[in-house]
Amino acid sequence: MKIGIANDHASVEMKQQVVAYLKEKGYDVVNYGTDSTESCDYPVYGEKIGHAVASGEVDFGIAICGTGLGISLAANKVHGIRAAVCSEPYTARLSRQHNNANILAFGSRVIGIELAKMIIDEFLSAEFEGGRHQRRVDMIMDVERRESKLD
């Protein structure tokens, strides 16, 4: 499985730890930056990881900024993206099972690396359950289609 990862300047160290963890677990990892701690703009990296996932270049994405919010908001503007900010494993599992999330986001200023690893494990091992959840995910994607026609 191929995992893309993107982050802002606040999250370089955590990104490096996450990349090492994913590789140790046997995942292919694609790094979309940033690798610099110089102040940068998280929407740039949210858009990059969004495109990587939406185009199928990678199977899932991990997006990290200070809170996980800014980068996830930007990623969610890319069509086809369902990025979920998770600060604990339960939400991470449900974000896959019920919401078919394709990007996991979290905050390097909110959680530590050990909790991040648990969250990642839940996200990557859970599977979308379909059924009634498929209908609701389809409804979310219908909102996206209707809204994009307004441009």
Residues labelled catalytic: 65, 98
Q: Is 65 in the site for ligand RB5 (CB under 6 A)?
A: yes
Distance CA 88, CA 79 (A): 26
In the complex, least distance from residue 106 CB atom to ligand RB5, rounded to whole angstroms: 11
Interface pick for ligand RB5 out of 34, 67, 76, 100 (rule CB under 6 A): 67
Which of 33, 66 has the CB closer to ligand RB5? 66
Q: Are strands 83-85 and 28-31 parallel, antiparallel or unpaired?
A: unpaired
Measuring CA to CA, how many Å separate 116 from each of 3, 78, 103, 105, 107?
Answer: 15, 24, 14, 10, 9
In the complex, least distance from residue 33 CB atom to ligand RB5, rounded to whole angstroms: 14
In the complex, least distance from residue 70 CB atom to ligand RB5, rounded to whole angstroms: 3
Token readout for 94 is 């449900």
Residue 113, CA atoms < 13 Å, CB-side half-sphere: 12
Q: Is 105 in the site for ligand RB5 (CB under 6 A)?
A: no
Which of 112, 130 has the CB closer to ligand RB5? 112
